[in-house]
Structure 1
Amino acid sequence: MKLLYFAWLKTKTGMAEEDVALPEDVATVGELLTWLEGRGANFADALSDRGAIRVAVNQSYAKPGDPVGPNDEVALFPPVTGG
């Protein structure tokens, strides 16, 4: 799985993107975020406020119950506002 981090998530995790092997027990966006939080203090801090994080799977907005798979591209970013 390719993970992409944007804005302050990129700063807090210390990376813009990474390729990870998805654990077998991670099948949804919510489970992915929980697994990522367990990867270290920087991830736990970055993902501590789930309400401030948006997720896109293969360039489509996703909800916590939406599925993820090993070949997906998942982007994590703060809410986007326009004017």
Structure 2
Amino acid sequence: MKISVRYFASVRERLGAGQDVSWADDAADKPATVGQLREWLIRQSDDHAEVLAQTKGLRAACNQTMCFANEPLTDGAEVAFFPPVTGG
């Protein structure tokens, strides 16, 4: 399975524009949901752990549609992480 991960705003400033990640079909650590992908990313580096921490209140989108952590992942999906946006 291959997933495109995109980062926006302050997340992008720390981690870059994004990355492509992939797993073998039988990989034990292959994430099945957006939330599991976030947890997998958190384990990749100290920067990922800090920026993507559950306490950060980040939003997520899968294939350009806002979603919750339990959104299933499919091969070729694009997942984006970004901070909450406020306006005035």
Is TM (by shorter chain) over 0.5?
yes
The TM-score with structure 1 as length reference comes to: 0.86
Aligned position for 2:19: 18
- The residue number in structure 1 matching 2:57 is 52
Structure 2 residue runs without a partner (length 5+): none
Shift of 1:11: 1.6
Unaligned runs of 5+ in 1: none
> Does the Cα contact within 8 Å between 1:56 and 1:62 map onto a contact in 2?
yes
Q: Which of the pair has more CA radius of gyration? A: 2
Distance 2:23 2:55 in 1: 20
TM-score after normalising by structure 2:
0.82
C-alpha distance 36-79 of structure 1, shift in aligned 2 (>3 A): same
Structure 1 residue 17, shift from structure 2 partner: 1.8
